[in-house]
Every structure is written in C-alpha cells, then in structure tokens.
Amino acid sequence: MAGAVTLLLGVLVASVCAEDMRQVPLKSVTALSAVGTVNSALLDRCNGETFTGIDVFGTKILDVVASPVQNYSTTYMDQTYAGLNFCNVTVTYTHPGRDDEVHVFATLPLTGWNGRFQGRGGGGFITGVDAAVLAPVTAQGFAAASTDGGHALYDQSAESWALNSPGNINWNLLEDYAYKSLGDMTLIGQQLTTQFFSKSPKYSYWTGCSTGGRQGLVFAQRYPDLYDGILALAPAINLEGFVVAEYYPQHVMNRMGHYPLPCELNAIADAAIKACDSIDGVEDGVISLPSICKFDPETLVGKEFDCDGEKGKFSKEGAVVAKAFWQGPASPADPEKWYWYGVNRGTPFNGMAGTTCANASASSCSGSPFVVSEEYLRLFQQKDPAFVTTNMTDDEYFSMFHRSAQEYGSMLSTSDPDLSLFKAHGGKMITWHGLADELIPVNGSSKYYQQVMDLDKDVADYYRYFEAPGVYHCFGGPGPRPEEDETLAALMAWVENGTVPETLAARSQTGDGAVRELCLYPQTLVYVGGEPEKSESWGCR
C-alpha cells in the first residue's frame, strides 16, 4: 500500500564546512562531505578499542565493534550515493536486570565531518535504522546514529517481542520501543562522535516521520536537552488512541460482512476529489481545504464506476465504509460518542480500509488491515496471539479505546503539551503533516499543536507546524511535499542562524513543477490568482 509499507523518511541535507558553519548559507551547499580523500588518522581510529568508556546511566555496554567502510555505494529515496567513506560502529548493551539486548548503529564520516550529530527514527513497530540508511546521512557530513530498540531490525511485526507469554506484556521491550532506547542511543551516539573526532558535536538534530515523528516528540517532552533541532514529521501522536481508530474501517466491514472492491473505494476517493477540488479555485487533483469538503458518498450509490474495464455499481456498503473512514470511530449504540478523528476526503483508502480480492467480485474480497493496528489490538489489547480481530463485537472494539489509554497512555502518547523545558533549552522543532495522510489522521497533529498554543501563546518562537495539501503519509500523493534537504536546512538555519521559517517550501511529487510555500498553522494555503504551478499564485489566510 502506498506510503504504508515504508514508514521511514530519508532526510538528506547539504553539507556545511565544520570550520566556518555560520558563514555558509545552508540552503546553497550541495557537496557530499563523506566523498573525498579519507582522513588517515580517522581511519586508524576506526576500531573498537577507540570507543572505550561509553557511559550511560542504567546501561551496561556489552560490545563495541567498529570497522571502516570505503567507497560505499547505495541508493536511497531514489537517489544514488557513491564513493562514501565512514566508520561503521555497532554498540551492544543491556539494561541490567531487564533481560534485553539493544544495538546502537552509528556511521561516522572519515572525511568532511560537518561538526553535527543526527539521530534517526523508525516507522511502525520498527524503532530505527542501520548503516544502510544512515550512510546517505553521513554522506552529507553528519555523524549519525539510530537503534533497533532491542527488537529485530526492520521487522514490522511485533509478534516476536510484544508478549512474554499469552496475557503478559513484555514491558521492558515495550518501554525500550516507546522511549528508553531513544535516550540511550542519543547519548551513546554523541559519545561515539566525541571520542572519534576528539571534539563534541556543535549541534545535534533529530529526523523522523511517523514513528520517527513520535520519537521526535519524545525528545522534546522527555529528553528536552538532547537535541538542538527536531524534525517530527507526520508524528504518531496519541499512538494509544489513533492506532485503535486505524482499525475502525476494517471493523465496520467485518460487522457488515462486506468488503468493497479496491477500485470501488478508489472511485469514491476520486469522486470526492472531483467534488471538492475546485473549492480553492484551482482544479489540480488536490483538495487544499478538506475541512470544508462535505461530499456525501451516498450520492454515488447505484451509479456506475469503471474497474479497469469492468463496470460496477457503487454499493451502500461502500458508502458506509467511506463514511467510517472519513468520520472516524463512533459507537452505533451512541453515535454522539466519538472516539478519534477520521481522515480527510480524497485520502487513499488502502491505508486503513484496504481490501484484497481474488477476482472482480466483491464477494471474493476480504479485509487487509494495516499490520500495526491489527497487531496492536491482538497483542497489546487482548494480549493473545490467537485472538481473531475479525470476530470482534462492537462492545469489544470500542472498549479498547479506554483500556488502551489506561494501560499505555503514559508510555506511548507523546501528547504532553508542556514544552517549556525544550523551549528553555533553546531547542527548535518543525512538524509538517500531509492533509491526505492515509494512516495517521492529520487532525491529531493540529489538535496537539493547538494544545501547545493554548499553553504557550509564543509557541511559534520554538515550534512550528505546517499542513501539506494532497500529501500522503510521509511521502506520496498529488500535492507538493516539503523536500528533505530543504526542510532540514530550514531547521538548521533556524537553530544556528536564527532564521525563522515563516513558510515551508514544498515541491511537486508528480513532475508537474508545482511549488508551494506551506503556511504556518492555523493559516491555510489558498489560491490567489495566476499560474497554479507557481508559489506566488498561493497565499496564506
């Protein structure tokens, strides 16, 4: 499913010379720092014996392995990096008495270190990334680090670690995933950087989307002095609530016993876009003002849609699924009792409301839920690997919202609006969230930002939130998306030069050349006249 399988955001930024970082315009530098003549002294230092005395309270270092990697090539986020040279470090440690084994992965450039450290986040149940993903970050001159959180790296399933036994949560590994390993990783990564270069990093940055965005908020709330700048993109705020809500369209289909064809759901999404596309004054396949789009899917029932040449008719069941997807979970017994946000019209159905079919008949279809939501209900709510989510009653499903908040809110939610310690540290944070996000309802982000604003009217001095029309989860979609290098460069300029990002640059993902300057919330992007592809044809209102 687009945007749902890969939940990791690659943020690559231009390098800045460490000797004179303040004098170079951050957006204009494009050289790859990790490419070039290897520093022989650093090459000699790239071994486990260099990294002695790593000390993080509450941990015991078990092993440090380091080896040089030279002339490395990789392709990441459709960009190829060749001739990279870095020291690849893996630290293995445990929390005595907790029976865990956690790994920190770090890549330290063997040439052209820019004097900065960057921590990297994960996605879904994946806590972080290894050298294969960190290498392109190091190519830009950063010392970079991430962690597996004590779990199998890149295993999107939590089956292997969620439970000690049926009925019993593995609280130690859940806490590692939630926040504990993140603080450890950062402190270890910064110490590795200092020991390798004989110099502490001048600035530290965090980059992540989805789970990585939630992790960014973990740092702002729990570890406010570890990072100078945080990119918390499409963040999984209120994980304990929205991940239950993610399953709602599937629950509705299970209760009806009907699973619409994917092409019917796609046709409903297209109809909503067609109905609301021009609200902003431009027909470009993007609903820029989804909050005022009130398209009713019931108006389609009985009409024909085309399914790759096969004609079908919109069903009542398809309209019910669409409403559930857009409105969010509400109890049939008490429709006024609403549990969490839905998604905006025009959002792809395949994230939460996916179906899989054997042929062109809806009778051959079954639900295809997002793995994180299905496993969360089965493993963390029912604590039973054999629990069958398709058989849940309404009472069973809706009771999970309260139980989830009770059991996991303090550990997973990252919804504390008090960022006063992060502000006092001088930290800066940027969040953007796609208005067509198919996995994490964007209104959860706007709600959180509003709560921070309610607590601190000067929030924009250190935290800025932007919404991206037509952008899916982390990437994808018809709308212009903030580019990785420009977004991190904007954060760096804010942290290091005091240049405030009044807007956030976004560029076409479809090749049409469209450019937008996204607006600081609560402003919205509206068409003001002129050529729609040009940024000056749009304004903030």
One digit per residue, the tens of pLDDT, for the chain of length 541 reads 333 333 333 332 222 222 222 222 223 223 455 666 889 999 999 999 999 989 999 999 999 999 999 999 888 777 888 899 999 999 999 999 999 999 999 999 999 999 999 999 999 999 999 998 999 899 999 999 999 999 999 999 999 999 999 999 999 999 999 999 999 999 999 999 999 999 999 999 999 999 999 999 999 999 999 999 999 999 999 999 999 999 999 999 999 999 999 999 999 999 999 999 999 889 999 999 999 999 999 999 999 999 888 889 999 999 999 999 999 999 888 877 889 999 999 999 999 999 999 998 889 999 999 999 999 999 999 999 999 999 999 999 999 999 999 999 999 999 999 999 999 999 999 999 999 999 999 999 999 999 999 999 999 999 999 999 999 999 999 999 998 889 999 999 999 999 999 999 999 998 888 889 999 999 998 899 999 889 999 999 8
What pLDDT shows up at residue 77?
73
Which residues, 6+ apart, have CB-to-CB distance to 215 below 8 Å? 121, 122, 179, 182, 206, 208, 232
Phi and psi, residue 215, nearest 5°: -65, -35
- Residues 182, 211: contact at Cβ < 8 Å? no
- Residues 352, 327: contact at Cβ < 8 Å? no
pTM for this entry: 0.92
Length of the chain in terms of residues written: 541
Nearest C-alpha neighbor of 279 from the set 533, 541, 540, 527: 527
Nearest C-alpha neighbor of 258 from the set 316, 337, 339, 200: 316
In SS3 terms, 67-93 reads as EEEEEEEEEECCEEEEEEEEEEEEEEE
- Residues 120, 181: contact at Cβ < 8 Å? no
What pLDDT shows up at residue 6?
34
Distance of CA 487 to the CA centre of its chain: 14
- Residues 306, 286: contact at Cβ < 8 Å? no
What pLDDT shows up at residue 27?
31
The DSSP bridge partners found for residue 76 are 79
Rounded to 10°, the helix 262-276/316-327 angle is 60
Q: Please state, in angstroms and rounded to a whole number, the distance separating the CA atoms of residues 205 and 332.
A: 45
| Amino acid code (one letter) for 478 | P
Nearest C-alpha neighbor of 270 from the set 316, 310, 314, 309: 314
CA distances from 229 to 105, 319, 422, 428, 516 (A): 21, 44, 10, 5, 23
What pLDDT shows up at residue 32?
52
Which residues, 6+ apart, have CB-to-CB distance to 38 below 8 Å? 68, 70, 85, 110, 111
Q: Please state, in angstroms and rounded to a whole number, the distance separating the CA atoms of residues 27 and 219.
A: 26
- Residues 277, 285: contact at Cβ < 8 Å? yes
Task: Give residue for tokens 């004054």.
Answer: 281
What angle is formed at CA 535 by the lines to CA 453 and CA 271, rounded to 5 degrees? 80
- Residues 66, 89: contact at Cβ < 8 Å? yes
Q: Report the catalytic residues.
A: 210, 437, 473
- Residues 248, 229: contact at Cβ < 8 Å? no
What pLDDT shows up at residue 35?
65
Distance of CA 397 to the CA centre of its chain: 26
Q: Please state, in angstroms and rounded to a whole number, the distance separating the CA atoms of residues 411 and 50.
A: 36
Q: Please state, in angstroms and rounded to a whole number, the distance separating the CA atoms of residues 346 and 479.
A: 11
